[in-house]
Amino acid sequence: MSRFYYAVKVEENKAWFDDHEYRHFQVMRVEEGQRIVFTDGNGALYAGIVSFARDRTTARITEKISQIERSPSQRVAVGIAHAQWDREEVLIEKGTELGVTDFYLFPSRYSKYRDINLNKVSYTLRKAIKQSENPLLPTFEKFGRLEEALALVERYPQRILLQPSSPTDLFDTRRQSGPALLFVGPEGGFHPDEVQLCIRAGFTPCSIGKRILRLETAALCGFVWATLLSSVD
């Protein structure tokens, strides 16, 4: 179990926790007046004294332990075509562990699933930062169409489209420092028209080696490339 908790709101010397977090306190047998450590998901880690008053759990902040800044130049974003939740969950969880900072979700022509439950995304992200003791909660955004998601490219100078048939190997592609955006298609890949749209938007299609990888294995390799291999600034 994680060593810290997530506060939905932090103001001056007080923090608020929601029902989801209350259940975590229960599981951990946290008692009234106990010292806890928690994050605001925005890079800060606090210590405080917990209080379970009526239907509201709060903490009196006694100490700001640390503050990590979000570095815009280190953003690593992943765009994922709607897929079965089990698969999305693994990608969001592992992506967060590895350091993905932003998740974008969109439909794709070959997606068997037409939508995604944003509450599930939110709780999965929260669970993943707690698990990996990362006080920065990744952002997420849902787009109604792939074309809308393509407008994201302005923020990310490096854009990779995972495409099994591509002759370009991702791991032969030098990862520059600076913001990167990685698009992951549905099972069966993007439709050729969608690939063309992405290429016109500035994406480079890349495959991963000559092996046949399951989609989630390929996506995880992409996350490793995007999050662990950047040059030093």
* Chain residues in the site for its own copies (CB under 8 A): 94, 97-99, 131-134, 171, 208-209, 211-214, 217, 220-221, 224, 227-229
- Tokens matching residue 147: 């074309």
CB of 189 to its own copies, least distance (A): 16
**Nearest Cα to 48, choosing from 65, 25, 66?**
65
CA distance 184 to 225: 13
Between 146 and 206, whose beta carbon lies closer to its own copies?
206
CB of 16 to its own copies, least distance (A): 26
Between 132 and 166, whose beta carbon lies closer to its own copies?
132
CB of 90 to its own copies, least distance (A): 10
**Nearest Cα to 110, choosing from 164, 59, 169?**
164
Distances (CA, A) of 73 to 91, 127, 176: 23, 25, 11
Between 99 and 189, whose beta carbon lies closer to its own copies?
99
Between 120 and 214, whose beta carbon lies closer to its own copies?
214
Regarding beta strands 139-142 and 158-162, do their DSSP bridges make them parallel or antiparallel, or are they unpaired?
A: unpaired
Between 141 and 216, whose beta carbon lies closer to its own copies?
216
CB of 227 to its own copies, least distance (A): 8
**Nearest Cα to 60, choosing from 118, 10, 112?**
10
CB of 208 to its own copies, least distance (A): 7
**Burial class, 115, CB count within 10 angstroms (exposed 0-12 / middle 13-18 / buried 19+):** exposed
